[in-house]
Amino acid sequence: MADWKKIKTEYITTETSYRKLAQKYGLDQATIARRAKKEGWVSNRQQNASKTQAKIIDKISDKTADKMARIEGITDKLLTKLDQAVNELDLVIVTRKIKTDNGTTEETTEYREAREGGIVDRSGLRQITAALKDLKEIQMLKSELDRREQEARIANLQRQAAADSDDDDETGVVLLPPVKGG
């Protein structure tokens, strides 16, 4: 006796054909086709594929959203630091060594506003410019992730459409008794 529940489940959850199922379980392909038509296996397969693809898309979307949120957080932190660095370009760091009464030397550091027309910290400007370029690349990466997610969704929809059309074309062979001439 055939385990129809097992055969149906295999058909619905895989991409196997009636012919392959018939070979595997030692059944007639036409018998499987009749049972499948009666129980709506093709429709069940399409529903299963749609649910599976939706779950895959959701997982990909969740992972992508998490990545993008992390990138956005890092971008915000970096931008805050860049603001601070730009503001500090106009500061002059003055370090002094002071001898104390007990003979030791203490170092003090203070920040003063640079005089107008003073020396510009070119090294600091180069570092900030490089950081801004890096920030732009991070933003481009985020855009690239958006594009890849969209392509994945389109590819899934195309696979689903192809699977739907393949199932519609499923045919079988029905043997008819010979016709007697008269």
Instruction: Give the mean pLDDT of 52-61.
Output: 87
In angstroms, the CA 138 to CA 74 distance is 9
Q: What is the largest CA-CA distance in the chain?
A: 134
- 91 versus 150: the higher-pLDDT residue is 150
pLDDT of residue 182: 47
Helix (H) / strand (E) containing 173: none
122 exposed, middle or buried (CB, 10 Å; 0-12, 13-18, 19+)?
exposed
* Tens digits of residue pLDDT in 12-29: 999 999 999 999 999 999
pLDDT digits (tens, 9 = 90+) for 57-100: 888 888 888 888 887 888 788 788 878 877 777 666 666 777 77
Asked if residue 30 has pLDDT above 50, the reply is: yes
pTM, two decimals, is 0.46
Per-residue confidence band for 155, with pLDDT thresholds at 50, 70 and 90: confident
